[in-house]
């Protein structure tokens, strides 16, 4: 029961949630586009320029993100302007913000000297960081996390 880890050949790749998530957001450009979307970027060429990617790549990735339901593409019109399309995060896309926050936190520590953005709690102004918590409300240090078989493994 507890040593299901020992024979994880059978399930390590099969229907793994991490692999499934990476099938959607497993490349650099996609995550940077989502970073921009979380900053409020909406227009096509802003995405391409700020992510630092060519237009064909931006078009392909944005299209894929819309197809995957992370971004919503919808027309809008500023007064006196023609109709344009904008891309905004869906709930499914917003739920990836913890991933971006965790990457940012790691990058702040190990990849850059001076972070250009910091996250603050709107109510109290204190710095926001990513934490592991259990359903009972405890803070969970990384070494107190147990790996247990999930419902996808019970039939075996």
Partner DNA sequence: TAGCTGGCTTTTGTTTTCCTAAGTCAGCCG
Partner DNA sequence: CGGCTGACTTAGGAAAACAAAAGCCAGCTA
Rounded Cα distance between 124 and 77, Å, is: 36
Contact residue for DNA among 25, 34, 53, 89 (CB under 7 A): 53
Nearer to DNA, 30 or 96 (CB): 30
Nearer to a copy of itself, 5 or 60 (CB): 5
- Exposed, middle or buried: residue 32 (CB in 10 Å: 0-12, 13-18, 19+)? middle
Rounded Cα distance between 63 and 32, Å, is: 15
Residue 55 binding partner per list DNA, a copy of itself, none, with a CB distance cut-off of 5 to 8 Å that depends on partner kind: DNA
Does residue 81 bind DNA (CB under 7 A)?
A: yes
Contact between 23 and 65 (Cβ < 8 Å): no
| Rounded least distance, CB 79 to DNA, Å | 9
Task: Tell me if residue 94 falls in helix, strand or coil.
Answer: helix
Rounded Cα distance between 119 and 102, Å, is: 12
Does residue 54 bind a copy of itself (CB under 8 A)?
A: no
Contact residue for a copy of itself among 61, 65, 71, 104 (CB under 8 A): 104
Q: Catalog residues that contact DNA under the rule CB under 7 A.
A: 27-29, 43-45, 52-57, 59-63, 77, 80-86
């Amino acid at each position: 029961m507890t040593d299901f880890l020992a024979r994880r050949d059978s399930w390590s790749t099969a229907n793994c949630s991490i692999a499934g998530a990476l099938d959607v957001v497993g490349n650099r450009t996609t995550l940077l586009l989502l970073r921009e979307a979380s900053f409020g970027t909406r227009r096509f060429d802003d995405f391409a320029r700020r992510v630092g990617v060519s237009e064909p790549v931006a078009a392909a990735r944005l299209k894929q993100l819309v197809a995957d339901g992370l971004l919503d593409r919808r027309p809008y019109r500023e007064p006196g302007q023609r109709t344009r399309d904008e891309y905004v995060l869906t709930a499914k896309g917003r739920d990836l913000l913890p991933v971006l926050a965790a990457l940012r936190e790691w990058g702040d520590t190990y990849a850059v000297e001076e972070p250009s953005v910091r996250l603050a709690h709107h109510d109290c102004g204190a710095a926001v960081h990513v934490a592991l918590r259990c359903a009972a409300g405890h803070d969970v240090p990384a070494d107190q996390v147990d790996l247990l078989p999930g419902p996808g493994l019970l039939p075996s």
